[in-house]
Amino acid sequence: MKRMIEQGPRVVIVGAGFGGLLAARALRRAPVQVTVVDRYNHHLFQPLLYQVATSVLSPGDITAPIRRVLRSPNTRVLLTEAHSVDTQRKVLVCDAGELPYDVLVLATGATHSYFGHPEWAEHAPGLKTVDDALEIRRRVLLAFEAAEREPDPVRQQEWLTFVVIGGGATGVELAGALADLTHITLRKEFRRIDPTSARILLIEGLPRVLTAFPEQLSERARRDLQKRGVEVWTGAMVTGVDAQGVQVGDKRIQAHTMLWGAGVAASPLMRSLGMPLDKAGRLKVEPTLTAPGREDIYVIGDVASLQQDGHPVPGVAPAAMQMGKHVARNIRRQVKGQPLLPFRYKDKGSFAVIGRGAAVGVTLRQKLKLTGWSAYLGWAGIHVFFLIGFRNRVSVMLEWLYYFLTKRREVRLITGGVHHELPAIAPLPSEATRAQQEAPAH
Amino acid sequence: MKRMIEQGPRVVIVGAGFGGLLAARALRRAPVQVTVVDRYNHHLFQPLLYQVATSVLSPGDITAPIRRVLRSPNTRVLLTEAHSVDTQRKVLVCDAGELPYDVLVLATGATHSYFGHPEWAEHAPGLKTVDDALEIRRRVLLAFEAAEREPDPVRQQEWLTFVVIGGGATGVELAGALADLTHITLRKEFRRIDPTSARILLIEGLPRVLTAFPEQLSERARRDLQKRGVEVWTGAMVTGVDAQGVQVGDKRIQAHTMLWGAGVAASPLMRSLGMPLDKAGRLKVEPTLTAPGREDIYVIGDVASLQQDGHPVPGVAPAAMQMGKHVARNIRRQVKGQPLLPFRYKDKGSFAVIGRGAAVGVTLRQKLKLTGWSAYLGWAGIHVFFLIGFRNRVSVMLEWLYYFLTKRREVRLITGGVHHELPAIAPLPSEATRAQQEAPAH
């Protein structure tokens, strides 16, 4: 045990994602008492979560215990869910108690948005938490097991149909990884089904995928996906999702496995501030990253909306990390009685992966566009570099090396019970033949 | 896809644990059609499962997809649960269909036994599957989080009390690993509680722990556990388990985290054979490993009871593996019309770990007794050697090396939701003081 240093203003940070974690780390020697609140006990490196969902990495490879990362004597970590902020009394209300603050940092991130159709969520899970990734992994792996057991060829094909909704980075990465999983890894492992006949659809409402990237890279991503056998539907609006498939305008796709990468909305905690939010539920912050008119509340990452040079600062990990560090700087200044500094986002580039050896990326102020292997290696290097902790870096690199050399995805664990209704076992073909041959004898 | 070779007798193997997996592997070039049935999609290296439960290893480190291990063209793998055997019709009845067999191999292993108190199971989970280990990990990690939030010192101590019931290898390994977790890994990570004050009890009904080992090693294990702060109660019968603790005779232990390592019983599938079973639900097999009077049913591993030289063959992994290989040999002989051979168990020794650098072991026909570091290194070497798959061997060795050098247990993930009722948040001590100071002013 380390006793806490009990001096200085109480800084309460809500959320230990990229923004919150970096703010807390940058305050570890500041003359303040930091409390970090999160509903999970681990920090998650979300950009690699799709690799947990598709059996390349283990959850432990891309997470770190928040307590271990933030073990400075001025910091305590509490596992609890924050429900609301009482700005009058300066108190954060959590699921089992209240935390008074002098300075509050809201870094609670985004959640899925189903465009007013919350009933779609159970059929098309999204990918934000470790539990989400394990659920997706379970559904994808079970679908192949169910198909192998299914005697009816039509129903078999339904089990082998995977629909990814949303053509942003998450959707593209999931669709590409599913293609590699089915066409490379599982190719030889079944007796009745041909995993390479799996149908993978990526559905995007806008005219192109990866709209955050230049058009030319969207085109390249589409071609790379198609080369891998992914059907890319753009300008296609999903109008219905149920347990048996997806409705896209007048087209019906029968499927058992739907994944959601389409909409995000700011965490609902923001609503309790009683301040006007934008359509996505975010708060428009001052350039100093404080809430309008309140220097005791900082809002960063995916819950903040900020314009810079006429463009919105994007809701990506590097922006959240830079904001977290900036907030720590401003809090130190506040303690010294200095005025707050405005934040400036430095765009160092961004990448999206399609699959083994295929990615797109822009860097150097959008001047350098990368595709194929160069983008893939750039992406891999940056992601390993920014992982929290030496152990995670080594283990992710080794898992990638192994996957790279063998094409095997080994973390193919179905855990958490069999929720799907799996079909009846079909007899072996020879058994069917035998039964037919024996039938006349009766 | 690999089409299945459809020739030869149909061999159905139920269970892909050590016995079933080794039988199937040894039949991969035999002139038979093999079907392997398991309710999980992965083979599990059970002897290291306690390290998943105590945050050293990830589930992916000690599992391998059954399909990938058994991808020979004469073998198919089905994810399904077997319910009963119809020995008249020679059919295995599964949860969603029937599988006819010419030869049946029952290798379904053991499950927990709560000595006629199934209601204890929810309070004191056992450790047999990956889901079990994740549940234990979740409960143990949540207990520390709850204690950190708990203002009342008595209730705090209840959260910090861990009771392991059963002093066999599983119980000893869990208790020792909990001691290392609390006293080494978590030592500095909390602000309010002192993890080293956690109370860990190991309760065994017989007069000593590790009764499968010579008395002298039991004594050593007890001393090693006590050195680590574990209270070892022997000759102590548990008479009650509920959500708030354990009753041991007239003694009551208040606790929130109870783990079960006491009783095992053969899988319930055995009852459907309609043959007399022993008290633990196992079938007494012929020396050839077949069911009495039936050369078409083999029974191996933890569901088989076999005497050899006046001693029972123990229910351990090496025995199951040797039996699996022997069954494959006998099936090959059956196909050729040769008589079956009797099985002989070769005891190569056994080990139990207490913690970092502490273990006990016997080998060379029980003549060589090992303790401390030599036993620990012997245990580690053997376990890495017998892990299925090169990747698992490398990743387990690296995780151990990391843990060894840093004493960090990094896979400290709480997943699957917060089922426990966690206590309210206590204020910071300074907040409490401040509140007291402010109180008179009102």
pLDDT tens-digit readout, A208-236: 999 999 999 999 999 999 999 999 999 99
Confidence band for B345, pLDDT divided at 50, 70 and 90? very high
pLDDT of residue A144 exceeding 90: yes
Task: Say which of A67, A134, A395 has its CB closest to residue B415.
Answer: A134
pLDDT of residue B206: 96
pLDDT tens-digit readout, A22-70: 999 999 999 999 999 999 999 999 999 999 999 999 999 999 999 999 9
Eight-state DSSP code of residue A277: B
Are A60 and B137 in contact, with CB atoms under 8 Å apart?
A: no
Name the CATH architecture for the domain at A116-262.
3-Layer(bba) Sandwich (3.50)
* Inter-chain touch A428–B41, beta carbons under 8 Å: no
Q: Whole-model pTM?
A: 0.92
Residue recorded with tokens 């690999």? B2
Give B232's strand partners: B202
pLDDT of residue B407 exceeding 80: yes
What is the amino acid identity at position B111?
T
Average pLDDT over residues A402-410: 84
Residues of A in contact with B192 (CB under 8 A): 4, 76
SS3 for A389?
coil
Nearest chain B CA: its distance from A51 CA (Å): 13
- Of A15, A82, A89, A105, give the one whose Cα is nearest residue B425: A82
Residues of B in contact with A418 (CB under 8 A): 39, 79
Residues of B in contact with A425 (CB under 8 A): 78, 80, 94, 96-99
| Gap between the Cα atoms of B387 and A203, Å rounded | 42
State which residue of chain A sits closest to B79, comparing Cα positions: A145
Name the CATH architecture for the domain at B114-261.
3-Layer(bba) Sandwich (3.50)
pLDDT of residue B406: 83
Where are chain A's structural domains?
A: 10-39+80-109+267-336, 116-262
Average pLDDT over residues A148-169: 94
Residues 6+ apart with CB under 8 A from B32: B8, B9, B10, B11, B74, B103, B331, B335
CATH class of A10-39+80-109+267-336: alpha beta
In b/e form, how buried is each residue of B158-167, taking b as 16+ CB within 10 angstroms? bbbbbbbbbb
Residues of A in contact with B412 (CB under 8 A): 41-42, 65, 68
Task: Return the number of other C-beta atoms located less than 10 Å from residue A398's C-beta.
Answer: 15
- Of A388, A305, A369, give the one whose Cα is nearest residue A44: A388
* Inter-chain touch A130–B100, beta carbons under 8 Å: no
Nearest chain B CA: its distance from A219 CA (Å): 32
Mean pLDDT of chain B: 91
pLDDT tens-digit readout, B13-46: 999 999 999 999 999 999 999 999 999 999 999 9
SS3 for B289?
coil
Strands (E), B15-74: 33-38, 42-44, 63-65
Task: Say which of B65, B130, B191 has its CB closest to residue A3.
Answer: B191
* Inter-chain touch B191–A4, beta carbons under 8 Å: yes
Residues of A in contact with B411 (CB under 8 A): 58-60
Radius of gyration of chain B (CA): 24
State which residue of chain A sits closest to B435, comparing Cα positions: A100
Name the token pair of B264.
Answer: 């095992």
Q: Note the CATH number of domain B10-109+267-336.
A: 3.50.50.60
A10-39+80-109+267-336 against A116-262: fold identical: yes
State which residue of chain A sits closest to B65, comparing Cα positions: A412
DSSP H helical ranges for A62-168: 66-69, 130-149, 153-159
pLDDT of residue B1: 58
Residues 6+ apart with CB under 8 A from B307: B313
Are A125 and A259 in contact, with CB atoms under 8 Å apart?
A: yes
pLDDT of residue A425 exceeding 90: no
Name the token pair of A391.
Answer: 């152990």
Are A198 and A185 in contact, with CB atoms under 8 Å apart?
A: no
* Inter-chain touch A423–B96, beta carbons under 8 Å: yes
Name the token pair of A263.
Answer: 């909409």
| Gap between the Cα atoms of A121 and B224, Å rounded | 51
| Range in A186-195, A402-411, B50-59, B176-185 the model is least confident about | A402-411
- Element containing residue B322 per DSSP (H, E): helix B317-336
- Element containing residue A152 per DSSP (H, E): none
Q: Strands A257-260, A161-165: parallel, antiparallel or unpaired by DSSP?
A: parallel
* Inter-chain touch A428–B42, beta carbons under 8 Å: no
Residues 6+ apart with CB under 8 A from A246: A124, A163, A165, A203, A238, A240, A252, A253, A255, A258
pLDDT of residue A95 exceeding 90: no
Nearest chain A CA: its distance from B195 CA (Å): 7
* Inter-chain touch B58–A63, beta carbons under 8 Å: no
- Of A107, A126, A147, A169, give the one whose Cα is nearest residue A323: A107
Nearest chain B CA: its distance from A346 CA (Å): 32
State which residue of chain A sits closest to B187, comparing Cα positions: A1
User: Would you say the C-alpha torsion A126, A132, A134, A135 has a positive or negative sign?
Assistant: negative
* Inter-chain touch B431–A131, beta carbons under 8 Å: no
Name the token pair of A364.
Answer: 């150097």
Active site residue: B135, B148, B158, B173, which one? B173
What value of ipTM does the predicted structure carry? 0.89
CB pairs under 8 A between A and B: 213
Name the token pair of A32.
Answer: 């303040």
Count Cα atoms within 13 angstroms, Cβ side, for A176: 26
Are B171 and B45 in contact, with CB atoms under 8 Å apart?
A: no
| Range in B161-175, B193-207, B395-409 the model is least confident about | B395-409
> CA A307 → CA A289, A311, A327, distances in Å?
11, 5, 17
- Element containing residue A363 per DSSP (H, E): strand A358-363
Residues of B in contact with A41 (CB under 8 A): 141, 145, 412-414
User: Residues, chain B, total?
Assistant: 442
pLDDT of residue B418: 55
Q: Report the alpha-carbon angle B7-B12-B14, nearest 5.
A: 155
pLDDT of residue A436: 46
Task: Say which of A196, A408, A424 has its CB closest to residue B96.
Answer: A424
pLDDT of residue B438: 44
